């Protein structure tokens, strides 16, 4: 009956001709995150006492903040389950689907929509914006300063070696991606020249060899390539002797502050 009442209230709210904008509290105390990218920011920036629930993936092996998620209530990103918790703020990247923001707004629940970052300047921007939205300006500013210091400490001297990003699914990344930005920050150039995300370039590997390999997600449940993955091709397997930066899947699954773990790992191999 409570779920039915909630759905009825949403319908009535949607029929209203005018209503004041939903405003997030200055310091929310009942925060819910709807997906594992949102979980990372909530678990890092918000004191545990103010976290009402996180997504079912918060403690997965590809979640960077999985240790902090232990013991925190989990909730499915559905309207019925989330609204029953009576949050005063919902944080999301993609959780709940494309209409989640509008739906929660109709229910009177403010939503923080995480920004998108495709380079390291974007990562810093999303970090500070999200911290401000969560009422944690000082904490976000401190993290931003630490981010700047770590990035400045990465050495980029000397000739740049090229690197190929390899995942068990056979996916790689070219220009105009976060991985490409991370390569450049680490002092590397991208072996993949086609922009965006795509398949490992087997044709090029037949006549050219990258100086460095950057592997990711080998520490997650996706570490074994399926029989059709380009990652299992002999041309890729023969790269196993190349200098390799083994990146944790958690450090690359979301474009957040922890991508610097991967940048630093690649910079060590780039020297």
DSSP 123-188: HHHHHHHHHHHTT-HHHHHHHHHHHHHHHHHS---SPPEEEEEE-TTSEEE-SSSHHHHHHHHTTE
Full pLDDT tens readout for the chain, 271 residues: 443 333 334 333 343 334 445 666 778 889 999 999 999 999 999 999 999 999 999 999 999 999 999 999 999 999 999 999 999 999 999 999 988 988 998 999 999 999 999 999 999 999 999 999 999 999 999 999 999 999 999 977 666 899 999 998 899 999 999 999 999 999 999 999 999 999 999 999 999 999 999 998 876 655 555 666 787 888 988 888 899 999 998 999 899 999 999 999 999 998 7
- pLDDT given for residue 1 in this prediction: 40
| CB 90, CB 82: distance < 8 Å | yes
- pLDDT given for residue 20 in this prediction: 46
- pLDDT given for residue 219 in this prediction: 66
- Alpha-carbon Rg for the chain in angstroms: 21
- pLDDT given for residue 270 in this prediction: 85
State the DSSP code for 247.
Answer: E
- pLDDT given for residue 28 in this prediction: 86
Domains along the chain with CATH numbers: 25-116 (3.40.50.1980), 156-270 (3.40.50.1980)
φ and ψ at residue 78, rounded to 5 degrees: -115, 155
- pLDDT given for residue 27 in this prediction: 81
For residue 238, what are its two tokens?
Answer: 């023969």
- pLDDT given for residue 147 in this prediction: 97
């Amino acid at each position: 009956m409570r779920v039915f009442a909630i759905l009825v209230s949403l319908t009535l709210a949607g029929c209203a001709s005018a209503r004041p904008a939903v405003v997030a509290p200055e310091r929310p105390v009942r925060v819910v995150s709807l997906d594992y990218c949102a979980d990372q920011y909530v678990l890092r920036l918000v004191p545990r006492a103010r976290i009402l629930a996180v997504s079912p993936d918060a403690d997965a092996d590809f979640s960077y903040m999985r240790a902090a998620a232990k013991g925190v209530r989990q909730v499915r990103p559905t309207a019925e389950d989330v609204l029953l918790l009576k949050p005063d703020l919902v944080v999301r990247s993609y959780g709940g689907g494309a209409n989640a923001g509008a739906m929660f707004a109709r229910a009177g629940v403010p939503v923080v929509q995480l920004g998108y970052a495709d380079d390291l300047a974007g990562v810093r921007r999303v970090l500070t914006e999200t911290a401000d939205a969560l009422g944690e300006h000082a904490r976000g500013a401190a993290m931003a300063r630490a981010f700047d210091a770590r990035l400045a400490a990465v050495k980029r001297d000397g000739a740049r070696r090229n690197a190929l990003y390899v995942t068990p699914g056979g996916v790689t990344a070219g220009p105009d991606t976060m991985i490409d930005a991370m390569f450049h920050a680490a002092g590397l150039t991208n072996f993949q020249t086609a922009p965006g995300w795509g398949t490992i370039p087997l044709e090029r590997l037949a006549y050219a060899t990258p100086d460095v390999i950057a592997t990711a997600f080998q520490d997650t449940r996706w570490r074994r390539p399926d029989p059709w993955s380009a990652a299992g091709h002999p041309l890729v397997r023969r790269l196993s002797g190349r200098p390799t930066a083994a990146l944790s899947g958690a450090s690359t699954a979301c474009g957040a502050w922890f991508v610097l773990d991967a940048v630093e790992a690649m910079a060590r191999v780039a020297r």
